[in-house]
């Protein structure tokens, strides 16, 4: 992301089409990586939630769910 920001600064200063194209390519790569990371994060959360015992899901004990979720990421 730092490289993306540097390219944006450079493109604004030079106003060169090639610099803008390089910035846009890197911006799109960063956005795609962020989308992918968010998607896998929420997918994992749903998977952990579905693996919980039914009693916990029925009671809505989200504190225990969050504890399990945090423990998984340690």
The pLDDT tens digits for 3-24 are 989 999 999 999 999 999 999 9
Distance CA 68, CA 62 (A): 10
Q: Which two tokens stand for residue 62?
A: 């989200």
- pLDDT band of residue 48 (cuts 50, 70, 90) is confident
Give pLDDT, residue 64: 72
Give, to the nearest 10 degrees, the angle between helix 17-51 and helix 2-14: 150
Helices (H), the chain: 2-14, 17-51, 54-59, 62-73
Distance CA 3, CA 5 (A): 5
Say which residue, 70 or 3, is predicted with more confidence.
3
Is 90 exceeded by the pLDDT of residue 56? no
Give pLDDT, residue 17: 97
- The answer to whether residues 51 and 69 touch, using CB atoms and an 8 Å cutoff, is no
Q: Which two tokens stand for residue 64?
A: 């225990």
pTM (two decimals): 0.62
């Amino acid at each position: 992301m730092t490289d993306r920001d540097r390219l944006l600064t450079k493109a604004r200063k030079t106003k060169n089409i090639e610099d803008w194209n390089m910035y846009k390519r890197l911006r799109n790569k960063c956005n795609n990586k962020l989308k992918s990371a968010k998607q896998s994060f929420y997918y994992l959360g749903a998977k952990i939630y579905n693996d919980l015992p039914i009693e916990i899901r029925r009671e809505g004990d989200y504190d225990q769910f969050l504890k399990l979720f945090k423990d998984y990421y340690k």
